[in-house]
Amino acid sequence: MENLPDRPHPHAHLRASDTDRDQVVDVLRDALMSGRLSQDEHAERLEQTLQARTLGELEPITRDLVVPGQAAPVPLPVAQPSVSNSPVPIEEPADPSQSFDTMVAIFGGGERTGRWRVKRRTNAFAVFGGHDLDMTNAVFEGREVTIWAFAVFGGIDITVPEGVTVRNEGVGIFGGFGARGSDDPDPNAPTVVVKGLALFGGVGGQSSAKRHGKKNKGKGHHELH
């Protein structure tokens, strides 16, 4: 009897969310650290994950890595609270699913500064290079934004406004991964979640006030080294 084909994913046609992609990235990171994936395999699958548009495109990426029954459930979207009291500019995008950005620095450098828009998700890759993300005067497209930072023999610095909370969820392997938020966090200000991997590289930060050598009146800003 011939083997039956794999049953198609019942929701394969649905658009993948940032949360769906984040769950796959977490599985890939664990597989790299446990030795189930080589660095080249991890990089290839990571690229596929970040480019995936549907759940059907995501599912094969971890098919040989996830233990049956152990896959994390997909959370439901949570309504965003009011942003009117935020000390930092927040402007909700018309289409949240399109609020993402990708930055790549290979044997070079890149920076974002001034009045730029911080997407709900930003993918920053630094390979033998560096990124400088200065959010001091930026506009945030959500109450919570996520920076996926991947530094391989490179560095990524992230500066966030005073009052902004930074949540560090990254991993350093022969490198440093540390994110520091405001000394005086404001509950109405955005939260910056920093995820990713530093491999023979570094991801980190400090406050904008410390970086620029002065205190801002009211709420100021922060940076990651």
What is the Cα–Cα distance from 133 to 110, expressed in whole angstroms? 8
If pLDDT is split at 50, 70 and 90, which confidence band does 151 have?
A: very high
pLDDT digits (tens, 9 = 90+) for 121-130: 999 999 999 9
pLDDT computed for residue 134 by the predictor? 93
Half-sphere exposure of 117 (CA within 13 A, CB side): 14
Mean pLDDT across the chain, nearest whole number? 78
Report the predicted TM-score, pTM, of the whole model to 2 decimal places.
Answer: 0.60
pLDDT of residue 153: 93
The answer to whether the CB of 54 falls within 8 A of the CB of 15 is yes
Tell me the pLDDT band of 32, cut-offs 50, 70 and 90: confident
Question: Closest Cα partner for 52 from 124, 131, 123, 115?
Answer: 123
Question: What string of H, E and C letters represents the secondary structure of the chain?
Answer: CCCCCCCCCCCCCCECCHHHHHHHHHHHHHHHHHCCCCHHHHHHHHHHHHHCCEHHHHHHHHCCCCCCCCCCCCCCCCCCCCCCCCCCCECCCCCHHHCEEEEEEECCEEEECCCCEECCEEEEEEECCEEEEECCCCEECCCEEEEEEEEECCEEEEEECCCCEEEECCEEECCEECCCCCCCCCCCCCEEEEEEEEECCEEEEEEHHHHHCCCCCCCCCEEEC
Write down the pLDDT at residue 207. Answer: 57
∠ CA 28-191-139 to the nearest 5 degrees? Answer: 110
Mean pLDDT, rounded, for 148-170:
90
% the chain with pLDDT above 90: 22
Split at pLDDT 50, 70, 90, the class of 149 is very high
Predicted confidence band of residue 192 (pLDDT cuts 50, 70, 90): very high
* Count of C-beta atoms within a 10 Å radius of residue 77: 8
Pick from 56-65, 79-88, 133-142: least confident: 79-88
Report residue 139's pLDDT band, with 50, 70 and 90 as the boundaries. Answer: very high
- What is the average per-residue pLDDT within 75-102? 70
pLDDT tier for residue 118 given thresholds of 50, 70 and 90 = very high
